[in-house]
Amino acid sequence: MPCIILDIHNFTYINSFFDVAFSDEILKKFSQNLLEQFKKYNYAFIARFKSDEFAIFLEIPENQTNNIETFITEIFEQLNKKIEIHQLEFYLNFHCGIALFPEHSKNARNLINLAQIALKKCKTENIKNIEFYTKTIEERTKLYFLVQQKSNYFQFNNEFFIVFHPYNHIQSKETIGFEILSRWNEPNYGNIPPDQFISIFEKSGLIKSFEIALIEHFIKTYQKVINNEFLKNKMFSLNLSPISFGDPYLMEHIITLFLNSNIPLSSIIIEITESSYIESFDYASQIIQKLKNSGFNIAIDDFGTGYSSLRYILDLNIDFLKIDKIFIQNYNDKKSYTILETITHLSKSLGIKTIAEGIETEKQLELIKQLDINYGQGFLFSKPLLLNQLINKI
Ligand code: C2E
Ligand code: CA
Ligand code: CA
């Protein structure tokens, strides 16, 4: 039996645009439509849960239990979304979070909580109208709450630390630099992968102080190893979230931190993603120019996965394109191969160096050699290394 929590999309706008009595009318009409829609089922319990949210417990007919998602989707497709009040017409849209009895929980209150967790995901992503509860969604929500409890004071070398992922020259195989990747070992939770915590830091507003703390830690670490002959002439790449990149004061702060260190800025590569310039191209090209004038190198990370057109890179003053691992790993697919060829040709003619990500096999390396991609990074060469592993390897 599913427990469905339904939330009317953008009801706050209606509420603030019309008076309360009018909005109440809309809610009443919508509830009538809900009752009408569900009355044909054997057991359906419907309640207004809070403001514009409704809770529905529904018994699924026996012949439909294998296909609950389609069954519920069809019910909501048939629901009359048109509301007419005083000759005004509204089309209401909604999001639903669903948890199942007894699979997800046997307790009604708990089911409601789980359905709300699913609803939260549905509302934030705003891609689908219906979202079922899953363990992954719950983990993510837990992580979100965990992050909310953290202060924005990040201490590295402890819970947080950095690893160095080498990238190599394809033809000579020589390591030319390292990408700095962050790691989080949460005392109660264990290791949390960066692609999970970075996006949560971005949503919760912690990303800027996190990236500043990471850069400060990197500068301190660099100063400890500066005399190491092997590391002296290497490049170091740092990932910057579009949120940090979008803040001119923070960018100014980063430039100052580096200028006050004794690190040659020509050895630093700032990696930004396509989303960093897609929204505000003029701003992005100005900041890129500022970074370049200070001596930094710029790389576009995960290239090919965003929605930006190739045209953008013609107008951005960048040094490296990091071709996303998806194209390397799907090189057998004709489309991926064509994209690899196009990116490489274009970069070459623009004087931009290319780095292939995620090289795991000799076959992939062979292909990258043939395409004449300049550099490569991947588990075939090395896994990301802790500083002491890196020093021992030298
Ligand atoms: P990324 O910037 O694309 O970093 C490369 C990711 O691919 C790393 O994962 C690396 O371990 C992984 N990788 C490299 N070679 C291979 C390979 O051959 N096979 C496979 N399967 N994976 C490979 P990681 O460390 O889990 O980082 C994931 C993402 O998290 C990074 O992707 C980056 O977007 C983000 N990230 C990590 N640290 C930071 C940070 O300090 N700031 C920001 N903004 N993002 C970060
Ligand atoms: Ca990167
Ligand atoms: Ca990447």
70-108: pLDDT as tens digits: 888 888 888 878 888 888 888 888 999 999 999 999 999
Tell me the average pLDDT across 177-190: 93
Query: 257 φ, ψ to 5°?
Result: -55, -45
Ligand 1 nearest atom to the CA of residue 163, by list position: 25
Pocket of ligand 1 (CB under 6 A): 165, 181-182, 193-195, 198, 211, 214, 239-241, 301-302, 357-360, 377-379, 384
Residue 64: per-residue pLDDT: 78
pLDDT of residue 323: 94
Q: What is the DSSP letter of 372?
A: T
Query: What is the residue-averaged pLDDT of the chain?
Result: 91
**Distance from Cα 355 to the centre of ligand 3, integer Å:** 10
Beta bridge partners of 175: 168
- Confidence band (pLDDT; 50, 70, 90) for 360? very high
Helix (H, G, I), strand (E, B) or coil at 48: strand
Q: How far is the CA of 201 from the centre of ligand 3 (A)?
A: 18
Residue 284 binned pLDDT confidence (cut-offs 50, 70, 90): very high
C-alpha to C-alpha distance for 81 and 91, rounded to whole angstroms: 5
Contact 164, 387 (CB under 8 A): yes
Q: Determine the distance separating the centroid of ligand 2 and the alpha carbon of 237, expressed in angstroms.
A: 8
Q: 312 falls in which pLDDT band (50, 70, 90)?
A: confident
What is the identity of the amino acid at 308? Answer: S
Query: Cα-flanking dihedrals φ and ψ of residue 182, to 5°?
Result: -95, 155
Q: How confident is the model at residue 189 (pLDDT cuts 50, 70, 90)?
A: confident
How do residues 26-52 score in pLDDT, each as one tens digit? Answer: 999 999 999 998 888 878 899 998 889
Span 326-348, average pLDDT: 91
Averaged pLDDT, 350-359: 96
- For the CA of 240, the nearest atom of ligand 1: 44
Mean pLDDT calculated for residue range 324-331: 92
Those residues whose C-beta lies under 8 Å from the C-beta of residue 271, and which sit 6 or more positions away, are 179, 237, 238, 239, 240, 299, 300, 301, 322
- For residue 12, pLDDT beyond 80: yes
User: Taking phi first (over 0 means left), then psi (-120 to 50 degrees means alpha), and beta for anything else, what does residue 170 get?
Assistant: alpha
Domains parsed from the chain with CATH numbers: 2-133 (3.30.70.270), 145-393 (3.20.20.450)
CA 239 to ligand 3 centroid distance, Å: 9
**Structure-model confidence comparison of residues 120 and 268, the more confident one:** 268
